[in-house]
Structure 1
């Protein structure tokens, strides 16, 4: 303090605080040698409280109003001092003004994910962020616990400490809520109110309260959010069979507009429809039950291929070869092939087909 301020301080009889900031919690009134004259005016405005400190000890607390500082207004201070000289000496004391309005521009957030057990998804990691309001409710206690001799105590000096304690309460609050992650968005206000009460009880030991706690967002890891987006898309699509047909029709329209890519588009349409039908069948209730056979499958039959006029025909089951023998398609010289044969072979050389070319008739009569 300069010489001019020291001289001016000897004549100032008004003690007040006009706060020109938005983040000052406590402010110490500057006086030369901490001398406050008898009869000085103390003005405490709405949203403020004033604390008198004498020789390191809290003497009195003043609510909003205007006071004339005399021994009648400072009984505690007069008791501490003894006041043996007619109370004509200046007070050797300090005055701290406390801002009791709400500080609403404070933010919080989880630096690391919080692991909770979700009733629907199991173990999940959550991140969250938001804001909160701070209010001084017990200035003497705050002075003792945090402010100390700081001439100007700002929110930035206590914000990090509060954020750490907030996050420590957030994890059990989310874990004990019993809500699914999908339901937390609809209950963020209720969760915030619950946390505000718990945090106010926690911070009562330092003289502050949390009148308002806001949860702006609760988020999941990106890969889990991507899976939820896929699940939501499936729910929106609904009937996969109808959706597949719609997609195929759209692709056909695009193919008509692009003749050069018609072949590729046609193959894509076919593959897409086949995959879509399989998916639709898989997601329909009872699809697996209906696909299960009612009995054993039919016995496998040999399949034959015939070479007729230089063209491959078939496959034909063995039982169907009789009709080909009858219409002349299958003769002893017709080349045939089935799975397991090394090459095409004339039918007369295949033992399985010999009965087709052996004349059938009654056996010879027995001798008389």
Structure 2
């Protein structure tokens, strides 16, 4: 390339970088004199000779291979470029980012549940993250025979075992089958450890696993929602009143049948409220009748305050006619 002043020079770089690619191998295996290495942010460059790691370069930048790279290669330190000869090596570029993958169960998972012989069919979805953490294992198991490797291939591999892992950790003793979301973190931790066992020998590590939601069959979900609503209200009669009032609010004014139903429901609510008030009032009246009054229990004087005549509790004095009570 004329840019480097040498027609045999070359640029070693990952020029078609993809976010969804884990690694990419530079295809021209002979590096010419005057060639340069370009490492972009988020990339590492690994020089390989006959499948053996010669050097790993992690700092992004633009390097002269002859003066800045070759001196650090394990067995090629003394290599000298000739005019027409080049260095035959492979350069593996590795994407160092943390990959985020969305997952979801393709088919319902039948989780064993009491009273359901076939199990409870449950779906789930979420995300997991992974990264490359061991270049030697990556090269030995995958990069040694591949020119590139996509995130989608890892996703297919891991989601193939997710159904079994979900069943394993959901079925753990003590899990509430109707409130799995409350235990999602604990279930996710168990699955994370198992997924790591699947990829650790290939030089990768699963750094996170999240369960966003569990999805039940519609009939089961409706039952859960209804029980949750009753639990929040705490009183069945109040729950019924709220449900009726909500139905009234949603009824359409242009529908005569809906209007009539709404009126009847409103009348029933009003009648029930009046009955409740009557019962409450009756209880209060009964209590007031049982309580003695000050005037009923008060006794008249034994002697007339006007003339002193003994009256023995009479309402009028027999001597002077004075009113006593």
Place the TM-score, normalised by the shorter chain, in its bin.
0.5 to 0.7
Alignment of 1:47-86 (within 5 A): 47-55=42-50, 57-65=51-59, 66=63, 68-69=65-66, 72-77=71-76
Partner residue of 2:9? Answer: 11
User: Does the CA-based 8 Å contact 2:158-2:195 persist in structure 1?
Assistant: no
Work out the number of aligned pairs and report it. Answer: 250
Q: Does 1:23 align with 2:17?
A: no
Over 3 Å counting, the alpha-carbon distance change for 1:244 and 1:181 in structure 2 is closer
Distance verdict in 2 for CA 1:110–1:40, change over 3 Å: same
Tell me the distance in 2 between the aligned counterparts of 1:164 and 1:19.
30
Structure 2 residue matching 1:227: 3-state secondary structure: helix
- Equivalent runs, 1:1-368 vs 2, <5 Å: 10-12=8-10, 14-17=11-14, 20-31=17-28, 34-37=29-32, 40-55=35-50, 57-65=51-59, 66=63, 68-69=65-66, 72-77=71-76, 88=82, 89-104=85-100, 106-117=101-112, 123-176=119-172, 178-236=174-232, 238-241=234-237
Tell me the equivalent position of 1:334.
none
CA distance in 2, matches of 1:217, 1:197: 20
The answer (yes or no) to whether the contact 2:9–2:34 under 8 Å persists in 1 is no
In structure 2, the residue corresponding to 1:202 is in which secondary structure?
helix
> C-alpha root-mean-square deviation of aligned residues, in Å?
4.4
Structure 2 CA distance for partners of 1:72 and 1:177, relative to 1, 3 Å: farther
CA distance in 2, matches of 1:114, 1:186: 19
Unaligned runs of 5+ in 1: 274-368
TM value normalised by structure 2: 0.60
Q: CA deviation at 1:237?
A: 5.3
Native 8 Å contact 1:15 1:43 kept in 2: yes
The residue matched to 1:217 in structure 2 has which SS?
strand
Of structures 1 and 2, the one scoring higher in RCO (CA 8 A, sep 6+) is: 2
1:94-124 per-residue CA deviation (whole Å, 9 max, x = no partner) reads 11101111112x2211122223345899943
Give the distance between the partners of 2:215 and 2:246, measured in 1 at CA. 36
- The C-alpha deviation readout for 1:299-328, integer Å capped at 9, x for no partner, is xxxxxxxxxxxxxxxxxxxxxxxxxxxxxx
What are structure 2's unaligned runs of at least 5 residues?
273-325
Partner Cα distance (1:42, 1:240) in 2: 74
TM-score (norm 1): 0.54
Aligned to 1:284: none
Q: Deviations over 1:13-51 (max 9, x none)?
A: x423356432121112242xx211357443444532222
- State the structure with more CA Rg: 1
- Structure 1 residues 222 and 140, CA gap change in structure 2 (3 angstroms): same
